Amino acid sequence: MAETETLPEIEHDEKTGEKSSLEPGWLVICWNDPVNLMTYVTHVFQTVFGWNKQKAEHHMLQVHRNGKSVLARTTMEKAEHYVHQLQKYTLHATMERES
């Protein structure tokens, strides 16, 4: 089943304008696995990203149905932070440079 993925808003760092690891261009991805409860994943998304229930459920269902969901598009530092937070909850999350 192919569904269109909605990428989160790009975060702009207008203060520096530097093209470096501070520049958005890193994707935080959560991958499907058969062990984490759907309710648990929804809760973790709400906690880590501060999303409302509807948005958290939307991304949880993308993970469940498509195998993965792009949760954030941000700087390298923030992407590392989010991946770390998600892994603290034992979710399968990684970061990738946007192609």
Partner 1 sequence: MKLLRSGKSVFVFQLSPREKQVLLETLELYPLVPASHHRLSNTGSPSESDENQRLLEESLAEQRKENRKQVQAMLEQPERFRETKNGLQFSLKHSEVEWLLQVLNDIRVGSWLALGEPEPGELPEISKQNLRYLMAMEVCGAFESLLLSAFGIAESPDWLE
Angle, CA 85 vertex, CA 94 and CA 76 arms, to 5°: 55
Q: Judged by CB under 8 A, does residue 6 bind partner 1? A: no
Q: Judged by CB under 8 A, does residue 52 bind partner 1? A: no
User: Which ranges of 7-75 would DSSP assign to H, the alpha helix?
Assistant: 38-49, 53-66
- Contacts of range 12-20, beta carbons closer than 8 Å, 24 or more positions apart: 13/75
Residue 84 carries which side chain, given as an amino acid letter? H
The residue from 6, 39, 52, 98 that contacts partner 1 (CB under 8 A) is 39
Q: Judged by CB under 8 A, does residue 51 bind partner 1? A: no
The residue from 42, 62, 69, 74 that contacts partner 1 (CB under 8 A) is 42
Site for partner 1 in 62-81 (CB under 8 A): 64, 80
